[in-house]
Amino acid sequence: MREDGKLDYLEFRGGDVAALKAFYGAAFGWRFQDYGPTYAAFAEGLDGGFDGDTPPAPPLPVLFAGDLEAMLARVTAAGGVIVQPIFSFPGGRRFHFRDPAGCEVAVWSET
């Protein structure tokens, strides 16, 4: 069950999605759901995906929110710096912020 503010997804950014799928499939037995040629999702303990449309960067932790606007307000009030305002994607909506250490984190909602 998804809960507000809990880790829900880990997105690996950048790279050749086919090569990443081949590596993680061979090394760890992972299986994938393709969402076009540049995105593949996995459900291997913690759900996640490979995003070939973004430049290489550290993995992006994604938290869940039942009410995305309310969570955006909480993140902002706590001092988070919004680096990508709310946007839609297949499956829901999300925003990205930087925490006080400069780490980028996303928050998503199904609605």
User: Is residue 38 in a domain?
Assistant: yes
The structure's pTM equals 0.91
Tokens at 72, concatenated: 């955006």
User: What pLDDT does residue 75 have?
Assistant: 97
Classify strands 46-51 and 7-13 as parallel, antiparallel or unpaired. Answer: parallel
Domain count, the chain: 1
* pLDDT surpasses 90 at 72: yes
3 touches 64 (CB < 8 A): yes
Can you say whether the dihedral through the CA atoms of 2, 70, 100, 59 is positive or negative? positive
Closest by Cα among 45, 43, 48 to 13:
48
Rounded Cα–Cα distance for residues 57 and 12 (Å): 8
User: Is residue 2 in a domain?
Assistant: no
* pLDDT surpasses 90 at 111: no
* pLDDT surpasses 90 at 41: yes
CATH of the domain at 72: 3.10.180.10
Q: Which domain holds residue 69?
A: 7-109
User: Is residue 1 in a domain?
Assistant: no
* pLDDT surpasses 90 at 64: yes
User: Is residue 35 in a domain?
Assistant: yes
User: Is residue 95 in a domain?
Assistant: yes
